[in-house]
Amino acid sequence: MTKQPRLALGRVQKRNLFAHVVEDLGTRIIKGDLTPDDPFPIEADLGREFGASRSVIREAVKSLAARGLIESKTRTGIRVMPPTHWNLLDPEVLSWRYGAMPPVQFYGELFEIRLMIEPQAAALAAERAQASDIAEIAEAFAEMTKVSPSSTAAIDADLRFHRAILAAGKNALLHQMGHLIAVGLYISHQTSSDSFTVFLPQHGKVLDAIRARDPQAARRTMEKLLNETREFITGHLKNGKRKARNS
Amino acid sequence: MTKQPRLALGRVQKRNLFAHVVEDLGTRIIKGDLTPDDPFPIEADLGREFGASRSVIREAVKSLAARGLIESKTRTGIRVMPPTHWNLLDPEVLSWRYGAMPPVQFYGELFEIRLMIEPQAAALAAERAQASDIAEIAEAFAEMTKVSPSSTAAIDADLRFHRAILAAGKNALLHQMGHLIAVGLYISHQTSSDSFTVFLPQHGKVLDAIRARDPQAARRTMEKLLNETREFITGHLKNGKRKARNS
DNA sequence: GCTTGTCTAATTATATGATAATTGTGGAAC
DNA sequence: GTTCCACAATTATCATATAATTAGACAAGC
């Protein structure tokens, strides 16, 4: 019964049977142990394997189906869907995938997207932010200057900063991308908590640009922040200097 | 038993009890009929309301929980999550949301994101596309020139074109954004199938740029395509000239 | 050969009725 | 007022049964 490690963004909660089945099957699918071509075990067999009743198995299956990982039909049974069908932006799927891919590649993909989203989000924030939005960004930044760089509070403050900018963009879909960022920050801090202190001033510049209602500057400073962070972390990852991952 | 209309991207399939409960509760939550503050009905009551067994209700709840709409805990019961927690990029959630928002606003949000993603995706495609990727894009474009502009085949070909470009960007997260585009195209065609013929040549220019391995041109042409489409459709939406939506 | 219909068995879909585990709440005790 | 505890409400899990669906095999007809 291989207990897979998972990306613990928050506190690792005590898991129930349902959550265990979901995670175990989810990671197996993402890792490619179960493919669209393989026959998927039938519910009864899964129940035996996990020592769970059919109800639990079925609920787990529905949960995975909602994430686009599998599909379940009468008589046909359960089928793994092709990877293009997976909801990769789902936080759980994202974390499973993080555990199953080479960190450098995962981080590369992630930052490519962040670079598409966040600079423009910062520009929108500079245009649309209300006073309360700017206060929230400023507060998060103030928090960042206070916390210990290696603490989880550092991740929280950093995340809050980036999320507040997305929120200030006044676009719900944009705000949603916060999940991506959360994972990105987690990896960054996991890899090197130095990045936190190194790039603190650059965060301040982004805040200043938004405060000054300067979309162009906001876009530029955010882009610079992301590019530099990416290089910094990617360098560490490639040098194998990252902290051991719990696997 | 109000049968909610739904965004029928593909064929409207005959639905089972589970799917009905999921959709009904999902739309109620998105529309704000059920809020985080309201007490959520308990499983037993939901069962009575829908004429379904507790198993079905529980499976539906798990499905909605996987999409971040609700959370269910022992003794506490089921709780609607705040909107920031919803997985808006989930295709179902996206379609429910489409049915619950003013089309102009929905379309605006959608295109703001598409404009962040697709121009850069086109640029990446110009850099990274393999011969087979370009063939796929070209094929989709050829298909677009053949089909009747008002047919669903037109939407399919259009979607295939945009998806192929995302795929050529060689970034799984990017590819995932295809869901957004699918909905966007659906709305465009629903609103005015004229847009299809009007912007066909611009699609060709994007293809040419990718073929020529010219990232800058790819970015520019895609940006132009999206901007013009947005203006075209938004104009129609605001003038109330859109085809009646089935509600 | 090819299609079209029909039967059968496998698998999920749904129902029912238990028991277990968790935890918010109110009240007792201090 | 605070702490602690028992109770009750609700989901979590289990076990078992029946219904609905349909892939696949096989037969019939053209």
pLDDT of residue A3: 28
| Alpha carbon of residue A127 to chain centroid | 27
Predicted local distance difference test score (pLDDT) of residue B243: 52
Residues A232 and A118 placed together within one structural domain of the fold = yes
* B32 and B140, same domain (yes or no): no
**Which chain B residue shows the shortest CA-CA distance from A178?**
B84
The position carrying tokens 């960054």 is A188
Q: Identify the DSSP state of A210.
A: H
pLDDT at B58: 97
CA A34 to chain centre: 23
Q: B115: burial class by Cβ within 10 Å (0-12, 13-18, 19+)?
A: middle
Residue A5 has pLDDT above 50, yes or no: no
Asked whether residue B110 is domain-assigned, the answer is yes
The string of pLDDT tens digits covering residues A53-65 is: 999 999 999 999 9
Q: Is residue B12 situated within a structural domain?
A: no
Query: Could you tell me if B181 and B139 lie in one domain?
Result: yes
Cβ–Cβ contacts within 10 Å for residue A234, how many?
A: 16
Residue type at position A93: V
Are A220 and A184 contained in the same domain? yes
pLDDT at A187: 84
Residues B223 and B116 reside in one and the same domain: yes
Q: Looking at A30-34, A95-99, A187-191, which range is the least confident one?
A: A187-191
pLDDT digits (tens, 9 = 90+) for A102-132: 999 999 999 999 999 999 999 999 999 999 9
Give domain status of residue A93, yes or no. no
pLDDT < 70 stretches in chain B: 1-14, 240-247
Same domain, A23 and A142: no
Instruction: Kindly report the CATH number assigned to the domain that includes residue A52.
Output: 1.10.10.10
Q: Which structural domain range is residue B52 located in?
A: 17-85
| Domain match, B110 and B62 both | no
pLDDT of residue A133: 98
Read off the pLDDT band of A243 (50, 70, 90).
low
Residues B117 and B214 in one domain: yes
d(CA A224, CA A198): 13
pLDDT tens digits along A6-44:
333 333 335 799 999 999 999 999 999 999 999 999 999
Q: Which of B20, B59, B177 to mutate to test the interface with A (most CBs of A within 10 A)?
A: B59
Predicted local distance difference test score (pLDDT) of residue B244:
52
Residues in A touching B180 (Cβ below 8 Å) = 173
A22 plus A119 within the same structural domain: no
In this complex, do B173 and A58 lie within 8 Å of one another by their Cβ atoms? no
Residues forming a β-bridge with A73: A77
Contact A120 B120 (CB under 8 A): no
The answer to whether B184 and B114 have CB atoms below 8 angstroms apart is yes
Domain match, A127 and A213 both: yes
Let me know if residue A229 belongs to a domain: yes
% of chain A exceeding 90 in pLDDT? 82
Q: Are B159 and B177 in contact (CB under 8 A)?
A: no
Whether the CB-CB separation of B175 and B167 falls below 8 Å is answered with yes
- Predicted confidence at residue B1, as pLDDT, reads 31
Mean pLDDT, rounded, of chain A: 90
Q: Are residues A145 and A206 in the same domain?
A: yes
Per-residue confidence band for A190, with pLDDT thresholds at 50, 70 and 90: confident
Count: domains in chain A = 2
SS3 B231: helix
**Would you say residue A242 has pLDDT above 60?**
no
pLDDT at A193 over 90: no
A40 found inside a domain: yes
Distance of CA A84 to the CA centre of its chain: 18
- Do residues B70 and B105 both lie within one domain? no
| Identity of the residue in B62, B116, B171 whose CB atom sits nearest the CB atom of A59 | B62
Would you say residue A204 lies in a domain?
Answer: yes
Is B126 within the bounds of a domain?
yes
Per-residue pLDDT at A54: 96
Find tokens 């799927």 and name the residue: A93
Say whether the CB atom of A209 is under 7 angstroms from strand D.
Answer: no
